[in-house]
Chain A
Amino acid sequence: MSLTENQKTFSHDDDNVVVVIGSGAGGGTLANGLAQQGINTVVLEAGALHTTADFLADEWASFGQLAWLDPRTTSGSFRLAKDFAGLPAWIVKAVGGTTIHWAGASLRLQPHEFKALTNYGAVKGANLLDWPISYDELTPYYANAEDRMGVTRTNDIGGLPGNNNFKVMHAGAQKLDYNCNTGHMAINSQPRDGRLACQQRGFCFQGCRFGAKWSTLYTELPEGIATGHMELRPESHVARIEHNEEGRITAVIYFDKDGKEQRQKARVVAVAGNSIETPRLLLNSASSTFPDGLANSSGQVGRNYMRHMTGSVYATFEEPVHMYRGTTMAGIIQDEAHHDPDRGFVGGYELETLSLGLPFMAAFLNPGAWGREFTHAMDQYDHMAGMWLVGEDMPRETNRITLNTDARDLFGMPVANVHYDDHDNDIAMREHAFERGEAIYNAAGAVETIRTPPYPSTHNLGTCRMSASAQDGVCNGIGQTHDIPNLFISDGSQFTTSAAENPTLTIVALALRQAEKMGQMIKQGAV
């Protein structure tokens, strides 16, 4: 039976519903959190509904099935603007959002990262700010999120068994006195919560066919629907948000699966379209009252776009590795995640195992490359190990999402332009991380090491950031916009700074907290 078949439905004229835009880590979790409190919620998801049985063990075919391929443009000096000018981000357009594609790494932000400006000091060319909330405030929600998601090495859940790729990273880490284990992963190491254990399939990025990896598709969304207080509308592409004369949100305009324009009234609207689409929607909703877009009195909507400092190191060995067998990412070194300016940069980074299949290795190894150096690396594919480097990047006012009125989507709306210039801090950190990654593989006996540039971004953050003061950001510490009380930001756009860690666990923790606070406000009649 389809997820949406017998669900409760709500009228387009029902102005008492909360409308959540997006069904991924933020939107899906928030919607279920509200439904559990008996609050009627409509989830509008731009993508289609797939089941785990639809997922493909074929990288390119899966990409075509799941990726957000609506047009986008890029600018700036970051290499992606040259390598993948029309594909700045690798995120999902489907029910469940990017929780279908994510690797599952579930790391808490470190306490000091919530106070980046205080702890790092002002950094030239960066727009650092402290979060308006602390680690301690988020702690209970982290604990709840870890339990809900089944994060390994929490709640007495054992670690995932290490695969071949992990063994290589681990051997190098041992030699360099780094701590290395299979990490905190929202992937079942044993059957749990009605979901199977990981079968080491290796197609985590293509959707987990066994449902071992947490995704809102088969956890939060069906739970929410089961309450009778939530309606999920797939293939519902939101174009703009409307408000009344008092500047309160009243409705959401979207295009349904037949391309027909629909208008859903709303008491509250929560935007969780990932950090490119969320600011685009606010900007595309400009009106005579809000000529610069919704919730943009600070001018910060779309600014401070962060994508994490990233890069990869692959290494070849005399003996076979077969890195693609098993969990795509399950091996983490956190010993470089701390803040130590003596390394020549502020903030820190994680080193995490990562593998690509042969097709995507060709696509991402060195985009645009040809000739013997490239093919020599590809020739050693089955003798290759790989890791991903992910660290804190600097928020910059000039790194931003803007509307490109020269390019339109299927519905005639201006598309998002993604502008990004690497900060010197990002470059210094990447160099350090490359060097440490190579050292780890050399310690394990590598024949050659290869530095691979950033992939299209899966970690898109910060474009509607939280701030204590309304001048510095778009929303407050619970994601409520400073300007419009019944408009909330519910995804990674809220991040004041990126921190080093993979963001999903924090997005979920923030959504659980927001659901609780929003529920209280609704019951008190505050929104």
Chain B
Amino acid sequence: MSLSRRNFLRNSRNFLVGTLAFSNGAIALLAPSRAWSMPLNHLTSAEGETILKVTRHIFPHDTLEDAVYAFVVKDLDKAASDDAVHNLLTEGVKDLNQRAGGDWSSLSASEQFRYVEEIAGAPFFEAIRSTAVVSLYNNELAFAHFGYEGAAGDGGYLNAGFDDLDWLPAPSPADSGVKPG
């Protein structure tokens, strides 16, 4: 891609946009509004949307918001400041569309998945998978969704539920210990 087109993209401010699907989910409680958007600096909106959908096929969590998957696209978009990565991603999207006979995104979910399976292990797939396995699970929204408290635990759970499990018999004091006095 020529530099001028890259600059054009940068200046035209591409975005990923969406609306939270689950208004009563853990993420909705954290979000200021149901609508969300994420700017892209190197990928087009169409490329970003395709990569988001591919990520959903690689790591399918049915009730996890697109807003969380968007973190993966954000990190890939950042990595795409490197021309080689940019090329890998844009060519990967093109290849997927070609395999699908023009527009992979317009296929049904099961048809889409068939083409994702076909490219499993390829550099484009691996770039998304290896980024997603970090980015998808390393943000506050994911923590809220999966029930992990992250940095909120920094002060310690001694008086905040470290031993609040009550559906199994309590261990004897000899096997457990005593809380510091």
Chain B residues near A254 (CB-CB < 8 A): none
Determine whether A324 belongs to the interface, using a CB cutoff of 8 Å to chain B. Answer: yes
Instruction: Count residues of B near A (Cβ-Cβ below 8 Å).
Output: 44
Query: How many Å from the CB of A220 to the closest CB on chain B?
Result: 24
The 8 A CB mask of A306-345 against B (1 = contact, 0 = none) is 0000000000000111101110000000000000000000
Q: Among A180, A189, A358, A379, find the residue whose CB has the most chain B CB atoms closer than 10 A.
A: A358
Chain B residues near A445 (CB-CB < 8 A): 168
CB-CB nearest in chain A for B165: A164
Query: How many Å from the CB of B158 to the closest CB on chain A?
Result: 4
User: Looking at the complex, which one of A160, A163, A190, A363 makes contact with B134 (CB distance below 8 Å)?
Assistant: A363
**Contact, CB under 8 Å: B162 / A371:** no
**Contact, CB under 8 Å: A167 / B146:** no
Query: How many Å from the CB of B33 to the closest CB on chain A?
Result: 25
**Which of A103-111, A196-204, A265-273, A281-289 lies at the interface?**
A196-204
**Contact, CB under 8 Å: B156 / A210:** yes
List CB contacts (< 8 Å) of B149-181 with chain A.
149-151, 153-158, 160-165, 167-171, 174-181
The 8 A CB mask of A250-280 against B (1 = contact, 0 = none) is 0000000000000000000000000000000
Chain B residues near A152 (CB-CB < 8 A): 177
Across chains A and B, the number of contacting residue pairs, with CB separation under 8 Å, is 163
Answer whether A320 and B59 are a contact pair too, CB < 8 Å, given A171-B168, A190-B181, A325-B161. Answer: no
Chain A residues near B59 (CB-CB < 8 A): 370, 374-375, 378
CB-CB nearest in chain B for A359: B138
Chain A residues near B181 (CB-CB < 8 A): 190
Determine whether A372 belongs to the interface, using a CB cutoff of 8 Å to chain B. Answer: yes
Chain A residues near B136 (CB-CB < 8 A): 362
Chain A residues near B167 (CB-CB < 8 A): 319
Chain A residues near B154 (CB-CB < 8 A): 57, 201, 203, 209
**Contact, CB under 8 Å: B120 / A163:** no
A182 to B149, CA, bound (A): 23
List CB contacts (< 8 Å) of A141-158 with chain B.
152, 158
Chain B residues near A464 (CB-CB < 8 A): none
Chain A residues near B32 (CB-CB < 8 A): none
Query: How many Å from the CB of B8 to the closest CB on chain A?
Result: 34
Query: How many Å from the CB of A299 to the closest CB on chain B?
Result: 39
User: Looking at the complex, which one of B134, B142, B162 makes contact with A60 (CB distance below 8 Å)?
Assistant: B134
Answer whether A162 and B155 are a contact pair too, CB < 8 Å, given A320-B147, A382-B148. Answer: no
**Contact, CB under 8 Å: B60 / A189:** no
CB-CB nearest in chain A for B160: A325
A363 to B175, CA, bound (A): 32
Given contacts A167-B170, A170-B175, 16 further A-B contacts (CB under 8 A): A170-B176, A202-B156, A319-B165, A321-B165, A322-B149, A324-B148, A357-B148, A358-B150, A362-B138, A370-B59, A371-B60, A372-B60, A375-B59, A375-B61, A378-B61, A382-B146
- Residues of B bordering A, CB below 8 Å: 58-61, 120, 129, 133-134, 136-138, 142-143, 146-151, 153-158, 160-165, 167-171, 174-181
5 contacts between A and B (CB under 8 A): A161-B162, A162-B171, A180-B175, A198-B156, A324-B148
